[in-house]
Amino acid sequence: MNNFAFQTAASAKQATGAFRDDKQAAYLAGGTTLLDLMKLYVVQPSQLIDINSLPYKGITETPDGLRIGAMERMNDVGENPLVLQQYPAVSEALLLAASPQLRNMASIGGNLLQRTRCGYFRDTSFPCNKRVPGSGCPAINGENRNHAILGTSEQCIATYPGDLAVALIALDAVLHLESAKGKSRRVPLLDFYLTPGSTPQRETTLEPGELITAVTVPAAAHARKSKYLKVRDRASYAFALVSAAVGLDVQGGIIRSARVALGSVGTKPWRAQAAEQLLVGKAPTEENFRAAAALAVQGAKPQKHNAFKVELAQNTLVRALQEVAG
Identify the residue among 26, 66, 74, 156 touching ligand SF4 (CB under 6 A): 156
Least Å distance between CB 159 and ligand SF4?
8
Does 16 participate in binding ligand SF4 (rule CB under 6 A)? no
Least Å distance between CB 14 and ligand SF4?
33
- Considering beta carbons, is residue 128 or 324 the nearer one to ligand SF4? 128
Least Å distance between CB 158 and ligand SF4?
4
Least Å distance between CB 32 and ligand SF4?
19
Nearest to 67 by CA among 159, 152, 173: 173
The phi and psi torsions of 272 (rounded to 5 degrees) equal -115, 80
Per CB under 6 A, contacts with ligand SF4 among 132-151 are 137-139
* Strand ranges, E, within the chain: 5-8, 25-28, 47-50, 59-62, 65-69, 174-178, 184-188, 211-218, 226-231, 242-251, 254-263, 270-271
Per CB under 6 A, contacts with ligand SF4 among 192-251 are 200
Binding-site string for ligand SF4 from residue 62 to residue 101, where x marks contact by CB under 6 A and - marks none: ----------------------------------------
Distance in angstroms between the alpha carbons of the first and the last residue of the chain:
51
Least Å distance between CB 153 and ligand SF4?
9
- Considering beta carbons, is residue 228 or 270 the nearer one to ligand SF4? 270
In contact, 95 and 80? CB cutoff 8 Å: no
Q: What is the C-alpha separation between 78 and 317, in angstroms, rounded?
A: 22
Where does this chain touch ligand SF4 (CB under 6 A) — which range of 1-9, 153-161, 238-246, 278-286? 153-161
Q: What is the C-alpha separation between 91 and 47, in angstroms, rounded?
A: 33
- Considering beta carbons, is residue 124 or 298 the nearer one to ligand SF4? 124
34 membership: H or E segment, kind and range: helix 34-39
Least Å distance between CB 315 and ligand SF4?
25
Identify the residue among 27, 120, 160, 289 touching ligand SF4 (CB under 6 A): 120
- Considering beta carbons, is residue 138 or 284 the nearer one to ligand SF4? 138
- Considering beta carbons, is residue 88 or 196 the nearer one to ligand SF4? 196
Where does this chain touch ligand SF4 (CB under 6 A) — which range of 13-21, 116-124, 281-289, 299-307? 116-124
Nearest to 243 by CA among 277, 269, 218: 269
In contact, 22 and 47? CB cutoff 8 Å: yes
Least Å distance between CB 258 and ligand SF4?
31
In contact, 143 and 305? CB cutoff 8 Å: yes
Does 121 participate in binding ligand SF4 (rule CB under 6 A)? yes
Q: What is the C-alpha separation between 141 and 164, in angstroms, rounded?
A: 30
Residue 139 DSSP symbol: T
Least Å distance between CB 138 and ligand SF4?
5
Nearest to 211 by CA among 53, 22, 51, 72: 51
Tell me which residues touch ligand SF4 (CB under 6 A).
116, 118, 120-121, 128-130, 137-139, 156-158, 200
